[in-house]
Structure 1
Amino acid sequence: MSEQNVQDIAKAQAFIAANNIKLIEFVYVDYNGIARGKTITVKKLGNHLTSGIGITRAMFGMNSHDQLQDIMGMTAVGEVRLIPDLSTLTLVPSVKQVATVMCNHYKTSREIYEADPRWLLQNVLKKYENLGLKTIGTYENEFIYFKQNNEKEFEVIDEHPCFAMNATDIFYEMLPDILETLEDSGIDAEQYYPEAGFGQHELSMAPTDLLSAADNEMRFKRVLQTIAKQRDLLVTFAPKPILKTEGNGGHIHLSLWNIKDEKNALYDANDEMKLSQLGKYFVGGLLKHIKAVVALTCPTVNSYQRLQPGEWSSAYATYGQDNREAAVRIPSTYWDNQENSMNIELKASDASANPYLAIAGILIAGLDGIENKIEPGQPVDVDPAALSDKQRENMGIVQLPTTLSEAIEELVNDQYFKKEIPNKLLEAYYKVKKSEVKLYEGFAPAKIAEMHRLIY
């Protein structure tokens, strides 16, 4: 196990003292995209900043309803350690004297626990660094606000049109608290607008390194949910929390930068889309493995209630410039900032994902494209759903998986992913997701949406 940096320990201790911290959360994210962890008092902190906190190995075998699956090594016997990444230490939103820190899992033998999603992302990022590339990106979340009616039932807060400025009032009222709390959590917000769904809004985060982007995704959701709860509102990031309106995406934007000259490796001024050859290879790999990738980026039964043709949810395996019905969108660059603004967006993604697994999956697929020079084919500038089956066949456009069951089978049968993801992680993830499929069998679609609304 790598030793904690002495400077990081000193900074953490100074942070604890300066903020009069009494409790520290040791947090990780399970395969269901749920933040879990343990909390310790500062009085009893001792050497836990370096030696971590013990937790049962069984936790990665739990589904979203705490049903433990039959996975060897994830039983009542055995323990792992939650080792904090001290660079992530920050305040808990709207709670005094409590701090939170993101953790990696280690075995008691001091070796990394191979079922840990955060470690998987860190490992993939090192492979890009070995290619001379650093990764930058962020999540772009949509979310829906609910209020309780006189019967104490939750209903959407309003039914505003897309981008309607008269729908901003509820969000603007909360905005000072949201922005301040996000800033306290180390997150910079960028753009806000009311989205197309009833009660739906969007607030984007500034790009950062992709490990921090995954950490930020969990903190962002917590901030929004905490501040909504203080106002007797419920905000959900579930992919399809109600069936009568648009679902929530959790789109992932990323770019690749040459470490040596700090230039955007995705940018080519001479290309029509401004997308470099390396960028095209990355997209080629992503599209080659996209059916496996969505098992990680759209990982719930509810995800496939959203991922439907004609719903602006990008249900087809293709790409195009500013095509919001393609799984991979190449956003047009800004006139006065073309190189810096060049990025790739995966639209077939939502916020029920474990962000470490979701981002790792995208990068793994892109890595195959870069290393094996996989061309993405021709970009598509129409809604694939508007084409005939024959037209899509001629253009090589296939529909993404329509169920979670189909997606996870694609994941475990993808030979490249089987090589890049540790067996223990892949087996556990598969069984947990299979249990989710079984759990929701027989439920009415509206009930499935409601259950996910409360989890996410």
Structure 2
Amino acid sequence: MTSFAERCGIHDAAREQALHDLAREIEASGLELVRIGWCDAHGVVRGKTLVASAVVGALREGVGMVSTLMLKDTSDRTAFKVFEPGGTATLPGFGFANNLLLLADPASFRRLPWTPSTGVLRAQPWFQDGKPVELDTRRVLQRALERLGEAGFAMKCGLEVEFHIYRIEDTQAQLDPLQAAWPGPPPAVSLVHPGYNLLAEAWYDLAEEPMRIVQHTAQALGLPLISLEIELGPSQVEAVFEATDALTAADNMVLFRNAVKMALRRAGYHATFMCRPPFPNIMSSGWHLHQSLVDPASGRNVFRRDTPAAGSTAADAQSTLSETGEHFLAGLLAHARGMAVFCTPTANGYGRFRPNALAPQAVLWGRDNRGAMLRVIGECGDGATRIENRIGEPAANPYLYLASQIHAGLDGVARGLRAPAATAAPYGGEGEQLPTSLGEALSALRADERLCAAFGANFIDYYTRLKQSEQIRFEQAEDKDEFQRREYFGRI
């Protein structure tokens, strides 16, 4: 009798060998528990914890998961009326809180460094008939990467992630059953450094204990961490990672966020990837995504140019980028407003787009210009030539953020789009403005027919429904600061 994994078409001799290898590793290392984790539409990891003896069977037959986990908004409310006639008519395979099955990848196994005798596996959902759940966001990126491969390219991405770490002073409100709510209150916190002293050694020393936890956690999980830095805002820090292929970069971001939050919590700290924590005088956190296209066979950087294009000036894209690089850059610009909701998906994140704050306001590009939305980095002959997108917030779902770059950039390549001149005044009022609210970003996505077609109508309908639920509740909230404290600060 065939296993569920075989019926799904993903189990072969190599995967069978990987199962045996994993079983031996679990037994030899004395593991007791393994978490089967899946990344939801909002970038949050959910899953189940299995005893060690159940893991191999779960890798063959799957782990049941209620389908409404895919239909939740950021408060965990189900955005679709699954028990009403027609409530899931636009979602074939969903209905009545039916079951999906999670199948984990044995090659994704990691031991968790902050808790004893526990490992983790990354999983994706399947329907019970063995068909993939196409609305799964990791699968959305996989389809985008297939399209990129068909065009003759692969993608490399480097991550620069800003976030905030606070010391937990009191969890009484958060854990008081009399104050439990939906969502509940966050913990009371204090700063780990006072801020406004960028890259100060003294502030790093002050925050060294939580920063060491971040370091040890990332390295124990095999993440390609390069540096940890003190950012400008109070309690704000940054982690920088080496470039990897795009899917690995997205997987790493999911793993990093989830892991450091739990490891720090064990030590009495609260990490938040919320863009703008709910305190006065904070600085917004961004997720700066460095990206380049490469030749799949040779690894050659397709954006690299050896000499400036004939007749070009420093303001021209092809003074630094190849022709393909310019087309990709122009595609990112053409779809900037439409992609914004994938890069900045929370109502909180749009407060970041303000002048002279090292965050963009307008759809512009610049050469090594941190005020522009897209920053072109590198000189002619530089194998590390790349485009940095600066509109992302650290709460973004990594799979959707990267997929939006691929679809937008490929459209520029397919149509041979040309980029305007580089900006010298990113806050000078030129250029189309980026969305200033979640509602405006959702409207911009719906208006972008090419981007919607690339993601697929079913996914766009599904995703915008989830975000509309969040947007409506935010607009109706009497105390929007309290909404953000509970919805984002305590949970993201």
Q: C-alpha distance in 2, partners of 1:213/1:140?
A: 11
Alpha-carbon offset, residue 449 of structure 1: 4.1
**TM-superposed deviation, 1:217:** 0.6
In structure 2, the residue corresponding to 1:304 is in which secondary structure? Answer: helix
Judged with a 3 Å threshold, the aligned counterparts in structure 2 of structure 1 residues 132 and 140 are, in CA distance, closer, same or farther, namely same
Mark the structure with the bigger radius of gyration: 2
Q: Which runs of 5+ in 1 are unaligned?
A: none
Q: Secondary structure at the match of 2:363?
A: strand
Alignment correspondent of 1:302: 348
| Structure 2 equivalent of residue 190 of structure 1 | 226
Higher mean C-alpha displacement, 9-18 vs 339-348 = 9-18
Match of 1:342 among 371, 377, 385: 385
Q: Does the residue aligned with 1:398 lie in a helix, a strand or coil?
A: coil
Aligned to 2:39: 29
Give the Cα–Cα distance (whole angstroms) in 1 for the partners of residues 98 and 441 of structure 2: 31
Alpha-carbon distance in structure 2 between the residues aligned to 1:424 and 1:93: 39
Query: SS at 1:450's partner residue?
Result: helix
Instruction: Provide the C-alpha distance between the structure 1 equivalents of 2:409 and 2:21, rounded to a whole number of angstroms.
Output: 36
Which residue number corresponds to residue 162 of structure 2? 142
Unaligned runs of 5+ in 2: 1-7, 81-86, 173-186, 309-313
Q: How does 1:165-244 map onto structure 2 within 5 Å?
A: 165-241=201-277, 242-244=279-281
Which of the numbers 23, 47, 53 marks the counterpart of 2:63? 53
* Superposed CA RMSD: 2.1
Alignment of 1:96-111 (within 5 A): 96-111=116-131
> Residue 261 of structure 1 aligns with which residue?
298
Q: Look up the SS of the partner of 1:361 in the other structure.
A: helix
Which of 4, 10, 16 matches 2:26?
Answer: 16
Q: CA deviation at 1:413?
A: 2.7
3-state SS of the aligned residue for 2:466? helix
2:410 corresponding residue in structure 1: 367
* 1:405 corresponding residue in structure 2: 439
1:74-111 residue CA offsets vs partner (Å, 9 max, x unmatched):
44342222111222211224112211121222111211
Assess if the C-alpha contact under 8 Å between 2:288 and 2:388 holds in 1: yes
Please give the secondary structure, in 2, of the residue aligned with 1:128: helix
Contact 2:274–2:285 under 8 Å retained in 1: yes
Letter of the structure 2 residue corresponding to residue 41 of structure 1: V
Task: Give the deviation of 1:265 after TM superposition.
Answer: 0.5
How many residues get paired? 444
Instruction: Measure, in 2, the Cα distance between the counterparts of 1:331 and 1:445.
Output: 38
Residue 194 of structure 1 aligns with an amino acid whose one-letter code is: I
Determine if the alignment matches structure 1 residue 355 to structure 2 residue 391. no
Q: Look up the match of 1:438.
A: 472
Look up the match of 1:379. Answer: 422
Moved more, 143-152 or 156-165: 143-152
Q: Tell me the amino acid that sits aligned with residue 202 of structure 2.
A: N
| Alpha-carbon contact 2:474-2:480 (below 8 Å) kept | no
Q: Which amino acid aligns with 1:239?
A: C
2:137 counterpart residue number: 117
CA contact (8 A) 1:93 1:222 kept: no
- Distance in 1 of aligned mates of 2:149 and 2:462: 28
* Preserved CA contact (<8 Å) 1:252 1:346: yes
- Tell me if 1:67 matches 2:77: yes
Matching of residue 130 in structure 1 with residue 164 in structure 2: no
Q: Report the equivalent of 1:328.
A: 374
Q: Is the 8 A contact 2:343 2:401 kept in 1?
A: yes
Q: Once the 2 structures are TM-superposed, how far is the Cα of residue 286 of structure 1 from its aligned partner?
A: 0.8
Deviates more, 1:173-182 or 1:92-101: 173-182
Question: Displacement of 1:402 after TM fit?
Answer: 0.4
Q: Distance in 2 between matches of 1:264 and 1:370?
A: 15
Q: Percent identity?
A: 23
1:245 has 2:282 as partner: yes
CA offsets per residue over residues 133-188 of structure 1, 9 Å max, x none? 12111321111122345898323333221121211014433444433321221202
Q: Give the conservation status (yes or no) of the 8 Å contact 2:360–2:390.
A: yes
CA contact (8 A) 1:93 1:226 kept: no
C-alpha contact (below 8 Å) 1:56/1:76 kept by paired residues: no
What is the one-letter code of the residue matched to 2:456?
Answer: P
